[in-house]
A and B are shown apart, each in its own frame.
Chain A
Amino acid sequence: MSGEVEQDWLDKKLQEALPYIEDDGFTARVLQQLPRPQARLQFLRPFILVAASALASALTYVLSDGGRFIIVEMFKITTIPTAWVVVFALASGMLVMAGGIVAAMSKADHAQS
């Protein structure tokens, strides 16, 4: 018991010996020395994405002879047996769902930490 009282007494005295230190311009001096924030060009981001997508589409169109390969591939798909198409659709759906679950779980972990 006396040990506990002694411990409290020492802690109390130690804490009393640490008075609050007034800021006196300390924060201002720290802020002055911080590296400047990088220029924010976030508003340009959607424009850049749209422009890059448009450019990529145009290039694909030109290089693929007017997108002829799409018609050819679509035609090939119509010749695949229906059962295979169903299996393929199911597999794709499950893959997307699994991806979604993994992403949600990692988000939840991050939020908890």
Chain B
Amino acid sequence: MELTDAGLVARVLVDDDQHAYGELVRRHQSSVRGLLRQLTRGDFALADDLAQDAFIRAYRNIRSFRGEAKFSTWLYRIAYNCFRENARKRKELVGINEEQWQSEQDPQTVDAGLRHDLMHALSLLPLPERAAVLLCCQQGLSHDEAARVLDIPLGTVKTNVLRGREKLKKTLAAWGQQ
């Protein structure tokens, strides 16, 4: 029988079992790397470095995981913190202001392919909205879980999801509901 995340975490805590931790990494690497790839606007190398850093940090701090939230939620929070710290270090301005976003709405600039357009539209969202939309709509977290990951109030998460969705819908309006 396959062990649950909680069971694997218990093995890591009690026996310092790195094989169990390897299984946790295997289970969550795709979603964590995917989230970071989109937060870094498609910088795969940076996203993978951050994901690696996040998993190592999670292992070092696994005793602080109390099982109140899902392991994946706890992991997303660490990954998001790694991303924020890195962004601060690089002094990169995460997010694009409204004016710039509006100027990108010219349909002529929209590339072919819905997926490409969606990624493009996502990358134009300001970080708080992008992160909230990615966590809630793509990764399937509840608003409450996303608030924990992003360390912001629940109401702010709801607002950011709503705003992000509106902007995405506007950008993708040309595609209709195909």
Min distance, Cβ B133 to any Cβ of chain A, angstroms: 7
Q: Quick check: B177 and A9 within 8 Å, CB to CB?
A: yes
Known: A33-B56, A113-B66. A11 touches B21 (CB 8 A): no
Q: B21-37 CB contact bits vs A (8 Å, 1 = yes)?
A: 11001100111011001
**Residues of A in contact with B, size category:** 20 to 34
B165 within 8 A of A: yes
Main DSSP-derived SS at the B contact region: helix
Q: Which residues of B contact A5 (CB under 8 A)?
A: 177
B98 within 8 A of A: no
Q: How many residues of B contact A (CB 8 A)?
A: 39
Q: How many contacts between A and B, using CB within 8 angstroms?
A: 82
Min distance, Cβ A28 to any Cβ of chain B, angstroms: 8
Q: Which residues of A contact B119 (CB under 8 A)?
A: 17
A71 within 8 A of B: no
Q: Which residues of B contact A33 (CB under 8 A)?
A: 52, 56
Bound complex: CA A92 to CA B114 (Å): 76
Q: Which residues of B contact A21 (CB under 8 A)?
A: 29-30, 33-34, 37
Q: Which residues of B contact A37 (CB under 8 A)?
A: 16, 18
Contact of B30 among A10, A20, A29, A31 (CB under 8 A): A20
Bound complex: CA A108 to CA B38 (Å): 42
Q: B104-144 CB contact bits vs A (8 Å, 1 = yes)?
A: 00000000001100110010000000000110011110000
Find residues 91-113 in chain A having any chain B CB closer than 8 Å to their own CB.
113
Minimal Cβ-Cβ distance residue in B for A37: B16
Q: Which residues of A contact B169 (CB under 8 A)?
A: 6, 10
Contact of A14 among B16, B31, B133 (CB under 8 A): B133
Q: Quick check: A31 and B21 within 8 Å, CB to CB?
A: yes
Q: Quick check: B114 and A34 within 8 Å, CB to CB?
A: no
Q: Which residues of A contact B34 (CB under 8 A)?
A: 18-19, 21
Main DSSP-derived SS at the A contact region: helix
Contact of B138 among A6, A7, A17, A27 (CB under 8 A): A17
Known: A6-B177, A13-B115. 15 other contacts (CB 8 A): A6-B169, A10-B172, A15-B137, A17-B115, A18-B38, A18-B138, A23-B30, A26-B48, A26-B51, A27-B25, A29-B52, A35-B59, A37-B18, A113-B66, A113-B67
22 A-B pairs with C-beta separation under 8 A:
A10-B137, A10-B165, A10-B168, A10-B172, A13-B115, A13-B118, A14-B138, A15-B137, A15-B140, A17-B138, A18-B38, A20-B30, A21-B34, A21-B37, A26-B33, A27-B22, A27-B25, A30-B56, A31-B21, A31-B22, A38-B16, A113-B67
Give the interface of A toward B (CB within 8 A): 5-7, 9-11, 13-23, 26-27, 29-31, 33-35, 37-38, 40, 113
